[in-house]
Structure formats: C-alpha cells, structure tokens
Structure 1
Amino acid sequence: MKRCLRSASAGLLGAMLLMASPFVLAADTSQAVQFQKGTSGAEIKGKITGGDVSDFTLVAKKGQRMQVYLKSKRLTTYYNVMGPNSSGEALFNGSMSEGNYDSILPESGKYTIRVYQMGGVKDDNKTTPFVLKVRIY
C-alpha cells in the first residue's frame, strides 16, 4: 500500500511540475537563426499563439557576446535564453528579468532563445506578432 501511494505521489508531483513549467517541454516550432554574410545579427519576425512555444537556435563560442531584444505589442510576450545542453534552465528568463539579454557567453555550443506568452493572452489563445533581434560578436 505504501509503495502504491509513493508511486502515485511521484506521478502526481511529476505531472504538476510539467503543468507549472511548460517551458521545459519541447517547442512547438524551432528555427535556426541565420545571419546574412558579413553581418553579426539577425532580425526575425514571427507570431506566437496561446501557449505555443517557439525556439530559435544558434551556435556561438565561449567568450562571444550575445544580445537579444524582443519587440511585441503585448507585455506578456517573453523570451528565455538557454545554454548548450540545457534541460530547460535559463541563463536569462524574460518574465523574471528586466531589460534585454546582453551577456558574454559562458560556453561554446548551440544556444536556444525560447519565445512564449503568459497570462490572459496565453489562456485566451491570442496570437501576438513579435520581432526578435539577435546579435553575436
């Protein structure tokens, strides 16, 4: 009986964690960030709907500087920056941080910029256009 309760509790806890943190789940869309030849930045125009998650990936080297800026009409559209081999933990969490990401990268590899919505916009399944600007130098 104890074993059964323990298994049920573990399953319930796991389900609650997944519901509370949807940003650990796989993205609904994923796109590699492409820089034009001779440039160090890119501008991506997109849309996000409801609880969808859009990932933008790029490869960068340790010691390079990354800047990320998100422009959106809604204040509940955010982004996270995740390092190589991340299991969901963010180097920058836009919903909890002020400003934009501007930092020296701690390691080489593939970085992910994850765009998402929160609050009523997410719950009401609204679509929000955005512009994501990324620069590496």
Structure 2
Amino acid sequence: MDDNRKDSDDENAYEYEQSTLEKAINILLCRGDLAKEKFEAKPVTFLQLFRFASRNDKFLVAFAILLAFLCGIGQPMMNIIGGRMANVLIIYDKYVGNNEFWNAAYENVIIFAGVGVALGVVSYVQVLL
C-alpha cells in the first residue's frame, strides 16, 4: 500500500464555517468559543429540517406556532386587564352612591376570567400537539 495516497474519506473532507449572523449570535450569547468552531458536515437550513415531514406534521407545527403566539399575546392582556381593575378600585370617588362601581368591576372580572380560561385552553391544546 502506498502511504502517500490519501484515503477516500479524506478527499471529501471539508470544514464548513458558520455564517456571519450565526457567529454574531454566538458572540452576543457569550458563546465565543462556538463562533470560531468549524463543522465537519454541512449544516442544514431551517426548511431542510422539514423535508421528511408529512403534510400533517407541517400543519401541526404551524398550528402549534399559532397557539404559542396566542399564548404570548395573552400574558400582556392579563396585565392590561389587571391595570384596568386597579383603576376601578383606585378611582372609587366617581362610583360612590351608584352601581357604576359594581358594573365596572364585574366587567373587568368577566374579561379577566374569559382571558384566563382562553389561555388555559390554548396552552393545554398547545402542549397536546
């Protein structure tokens, strides 16, 4: 055997580098050692991750992303509704002697409960997917 001849595996060996964006993200996340690292295999793109997925799998992933988006919107909504309820409780002078206080409080409580139930259902369905 000739020692000067390269193995067939070595002929195809090539080191792939990360893109500039990936390097910047690694540096921002204090992973500078990963920014300098080279790969033996070519990394796949995001869309290539789903090349073997069925149409049903792609639908479920898209639906789960939509539900995650709705859960993300629900959390700030709870803060806004809680702030509205705090305003009703703090500014009680204009509600003295009439039922406006109770009506405003009930309205906020019903909205608060509705958003809470909706968030619970959406979160539960998201976990099931």
Which structure carries more strand by proportion?
1
Which protein has the larger Cα radius of gyration, Structure 1 or Structure 2?
2
Compare relative contact order (CA 8 Å, sep 6+) and give the higher one, 1 or 2.
Answer: 1
How would you bin the TM-score normalised by the shorter chain? under 0.3
Which structure carries more helix by proportion?
2
